[in-house]
Amino acid sequence: MRAEHDFLILGGGSAGCLLARRLWEAGKNKVALVESGQAGWLDPRIKIPAAFVHLYKTRRDYAYFSVPQPNLKNRRLFLPRGRVLGGSGSINAMIYIRGHRAVYDHWASLGNSGWDYDSVLPYFKRTEKNQRFGEPWHGTQGLLNIADLLRPHPLSRLFVEAMAEAGIPPREDLNEPETEGAGLHQVNQRQGERHSPARAFIRELVGRPGFVLLTGHRALRLVLNETGTEVSGVEVLVGKKKQTLRARKGYIVSCGAFDTPALLLRSGIGDAEALSAVGIQPIVHLPAVGKNLQDHPYLPLTMGVKNYTTYDQAETLWNILSWYVSRSRSLMTTNAAEAGGFWRSSPGLPQPDIQFHFVPAHFMDHGFVRSRSSGISLCAILLQPQSRGSVTLNPHDVWGAPLIDPAVFSDSEDLATFQKGVLKCSEVLHGPIFQALASGQDPLPNRFHDETSLQEHIRNYTELLYHPAGTCRMGTDPCHSVTSPSLQVHGISNLFVADASVMPTISAGNTHAPTLMIAEKASELIQKSFS
């Protein structure tokens, strides 16, 4: 079959959408974006910011679950991933956070030249069309609209005051290189509507010469030549039929930290012994594929409040209709986690190790459990976990969902640090500002009298914050990494990875903005490889 495209991008998530746009903009490439889900252009649950929780466990979501976690009472953790154009960027909470400069400088110190903070800052700025901030840290001419929330809840502003009372100062811009402090989040919204990667980067390309959007195409495996040094095609499933797509120049995998390693493994790229054990013929021995999985553990503490109406009862027919009538007055423009911050749990740390998210509602069980009373939630988030998990193929169904083991708290230091963050949340909730509003109607405990009760609560209710990363880490050693710093898969000349899986260590905050940065930089690196 003759190749019809110069580049095939596998995975139409945040990174894939931006990468497709940039490669197409180069003006000399024919680009095909291959996505398993559908476009979802008209889905109101994507467009209305507050409706994102209604996308979980639907056809827009892969709705993965982890294997049982021994340190969390053997619970299987819910791991939503977007199965729609824009990927998880179409179903997430829209928070725009880059993370501390030290993370990127650490990437460079591991041998990944060009990935230090000063080098990647221009790529962050290139994507961004910030409606409030400009130079030196922000871009104003990019494709993705970044804005303040139209209608932040008064309790979110009160949270910033409560944090200051607890020793964490206010910060106007949570995306400066040094991130410690608390403030309101900026979000990828435009006039109160989610500005998804699909809408920002792809919508206006549909039907343009040189660009092809292939939705409903699930990538099954890469077809390699006999020596395993080059990809000759990709086998996709369309409905119940298999097809083979080919590219003249290169193949870029942007399927995310779960499905990118799974696709490589199904293609015979990974640890040879492990592949043979599940019946896959090994072709390229790269033992790091699927290893190094990281995510951010989080735990919300909730508290009932009086004198305020919160978002617990916001989803009335009137409020939903109000979004179509007047965005500036609509409760439905909220992203739920309206405010947050960063904190060092010990004074001598080089960077914050705890993040906070504040929600003016009871946030329980990923939003599936609703409260009839008004409340608030304050989440502790472990920023730099030392625990490392894995993504492997299911030996009983290698073509199905992979086995995902985040190995939460497998490193004991993670639990010790996380406890400090949870106790800080409790301190903020029990400070004068929020105690003046406390109703006493608390569905779960938010104060702990000893370490045993604290640890029990953590093991019962800790979840992961939908930020998987690291499973195809970049590096210079093929024994411990999957791609080079130029994002080319070791030993395969025309295969690249561009998504959160290439992060050597997880970014210090929400991973959406760093993933877009990776795609921006990847577009340059890939074009240089073929110039």
Structural domain boundaries in the chain: 1-115+196-294+389-407+468-531, 150-184+297-382+409-461
Burial class (CB in 10 A: 0-12, 13-18, 19+), 228: middle
DSSP letter at 448 equals -
pLDDT reported for residue 179: 85
Q: Which residue has the tokens 């990281």?
A: 294
pLDDT reported for residue 183: 98
Q: Closest Cα to residue 483, out of 310, 292, 301?
A: 292
Phi and psi (nearest 5°) for 345?
-75, -15
Which CATH number describes the domain made up of 150-184+297-382+409-461? 3.30.410.40
Whether residue 136 is preceded by a cis peptide bond, meaning omega within 30 degrees of 0, is yes
pLDDT reported for residue 2: 59
CA distance 512 to 179: 16
Indicate whether this model's pTM tops 0.85. yes
**Bridge partner residues of 187 (DSSP):** 95, 147
pLDDT tens string 346-381: 998 999 999 999 999 999 999 999 888 999 999 999
Catalytic residues: 467
Q: Which residue has the tokens 């599940």?
A: 278
pLDDT reported for residue 313: 84
pLDDT tens string 425-443: 999 999 999 999 999 998 8
Superfamily for domain range 1-115+196-294+389-407+468-531: FAD/NAD(P)-binding domain (3.50.50.60)
CB-based contact 335:510 (threshold 8 Å): no
CA distance 188 to 130: 9
Q: Closest Cα to residue 17, out of 364, 529, 392, 516?
A: 516
How long, in residues, is the chain? 531
CB-based contact 231:494 (threshold 8 Å): yes
Q: Say whether 236 sits in a helix, a strand or coil.
A: strand
Low-confidence ranges of the chain (pLDDT < 70): 1-3
Burial class (CB in 10 A: 0-12, 13-18, 19+), 365: exposed
Our CA angle for 516, 517, 518, nearest 5°, is 90
Long-range contacts of 461-464 (CB under 8 A, 24+ apart): 461/299, 461/300, 462/72, 462/297, 462/298, 462/299, 462/408, 462/409, 462/418, 463/77, 463/78, 463/297, 463/298, 463/299, 463/366, 464/66, 464/77, 464/79, 464/295, 464/296, 464/297, 464/298, 464/406, 464/408
pLDDT reported for residue 1: 47
